[in-house]
Amino acid sequence: MQLQPTPTLIENLYWITIVALVVSSASGVLQAGFRRFDLFGMIIIGITTGIGGGSVRDMLLGKQAFWIVNQEYFIVAVLSSVLMFIIARRWAVNPSFFLIPDAAGLAAYSIAGTLAALMFGAPWFVASFMGVLTGIMGGVLRDILCNEPPVVFQSSLYGTIAWVGSLLFIGLLYLDWDITWATLAAGLLMFCTRVVAMKYDIGLPKFRFKTE
């Protein structure tokens, strides 16, 4: 399944990416704040979290990074990071609160990555995995820079939700759903499932060596 990059699809991809940038950058700043980094460090991590997943996607697709082609994305990441820095300094924030914008970023970027890959001409299954990489890689880079184990490898149904949601999004498009409704349905399902999984600690079985 491939999508022709019509003006409507391009506009939808733009706004989905903007939403993903804002919430992902916010999660990066909050995680850096709990490490007590200074303003520069927090903004760098916020920007990296915001643009990281899409940059990896574009590199694998052989495209120029989206934020280099259009610097509006980079400006949004910077402004979102600065704004979250100010907000976090004025109001008390629970240390685990960064997982909420992280869940929103996971959902939005998974949709954006899948849509961008389909518009580029990637096969549908490859496009779904591009959605996963776009959704998780910003958080992976954030956690590495904060010297934390990546959330994706230890948290409840993180990458699994991204892949299932990306496949659902493709399925809805195949069924001729409107792009906006398909985005809302798949995105909300990913976000809500991720929040529920965190609340009740629902996850896949973990590997353990068999002991005698």
How confident is the model over 109-140, as pLDDT tens digits?
Answer: 999 999 999 999 999 999 999 999 999 999 89
The confidence score (pLDDT) of residue 95 equals 62
Alpha-carbon distance 7 to 90, whole Å?
41
Residue 212 predicted with pLDDT over 60: no
What's the token pair of residue 108? Answer: 């939005």
- Phi, psi for residue 178 in degrees, rounded to 5: -60, 140
The confidence score (pLDDT) of residue 34 equals 80
Inter-residue contact 35 to 146 (CB < 8 Å): yes
Q: What is the pTM of this model?
A: 0.90
pLDDT digit string, tens, across residues 63-116: 999 999 999 999 999 999 999 888 888 887 776 677 788 889 999 999 999 999
Residue 1 predicted with pLDDT over 90: no
Please give the average per-residue pLDDT across 50-72, as a whole number.
94
Please give the average per-residue pLDDT across 165-181, as a whole number.
94
Instruction: Provide CB contacts within 8 A for 78, sequence distance 6+.
Output: 43, 47
The confidence score (pLDDT) of residue 17 equals 94
pLDDT digit string, tens, across residues 184-209: 999 999 999 999 988 888 877 777 77
The per-residue pLDDT of the chain, averaged, comes to 89
- Residue spans of the domains in the chain: they are 7-200
Tokens 């989206």 belong to 66
